[in-house]
Amino acid sequence: MTARPLPGAPVADALLARVAGRVSALPQAPRLALVRVGEDPASVSYVRSKDKKAHQVGLQSEVFALPESTSQTELLALLDRLNADVAVSGILVQLPLPPHISEEAVLLAVDPAKDVDGFHPYNVAQMWAGRAALNPCTPAGILELLDFYAVPVAGQRAVVVGRSEIVGRPMAAMLLARDATVTIAHSRTADLAAVTREADLVVVAVGRPHFLTPDMVKPGATVIDVGINRIEVEGKGKIVGDVHPDVAQVAGGLTPVPGGVGLLTVAQLMANTVTAAELVQDRG
């Protein structure tokens, strides 16, 4: 058996095409505010990519690049202005932030109606209640991928390996809302391999290269690899996932790294921005 590849590019393209259509149906293009503090190379790259993608689908986008020395008070004041600006539909604060700024305080300061990352406690509560409109982008993108490839979810046993607030926990909530039977596993799960072998669907988001090995996978299961790890191979840098390549010999379907889930996160951010604008229009 060789796993069916589940690349993210066709899914992202289809999602972005729908987003562009929704943008054109609005009286005014939604505006996305992208806030970055400092010059961390990864953050600079991520924000540039998000800004470029926003313009490609017809959104308005503005980058607020603040110096590393920006105080928490100054950042919160900017967020207050963006919250109050009716022309701004979505706000994203790129993480991580410098050590002197509280990420929790910043995330709490974003208006939940403009929280296109889906991290505000209000949106998290709505998600667990099955009523969320703005869900975290990576797990929401994974649902898009599962739908695109017609991977069954309802009635399936799903194991999410990893319990982060960004991927693991919201992924479990979304799969539960789709009528899967869900287990959240983590570093302290006893006999983790026995748990994952019971799953029809495994989502791995632990940030450890090649963590999930073939002996941990039920034959024919669908495996979603969220990991993006940089390792050295023969003196050269290489991007690998949390899933060992040999899992492809056991699984029924497997997302690649790179070229898998990562492509969907930005696409879902664009979708969330349009959703935020549509909700405001509906309330108006």
Active centre residues (catalytic): 50, 94, 117
CA distance 131 to 60: 27
| CA torsion, ordered 167, 91, 108, 139, to nearest 10 deg | -10
Q: Which two tokens stand for residue 197?
A: 């072998």
- Is residue 240 a contact partner of residue 206, using CB atoms and an 8 Å limit? no
- Is residue 148 a contact partner of residue 10, using CB atoms and an 8 Å limit? yes
User: How would DSSP label each residue in 123-160?
Assistant: HHHHHHTT--SS--HHHHHHHHHHHHTT---TT-EEEE
Phi, psi (5° rounding) for residue 7? -65, 150
Q: How far is CA 229 from the centre of its chain?
A: 16
Phi, psi (5° rounding) for residue 16? -65, -35
Q: Burial, 137: exposed, middle or buried (Cβ in 10 Å; 0-12, 13-18, 19+)?
A: buried
Cα distance from N-terminal residue to C-terminal residue, the chain: 54
Known binding-site residue numbers for NADP(+): 162-164, 228
Known binding-site residue numbers: 162-164, 228
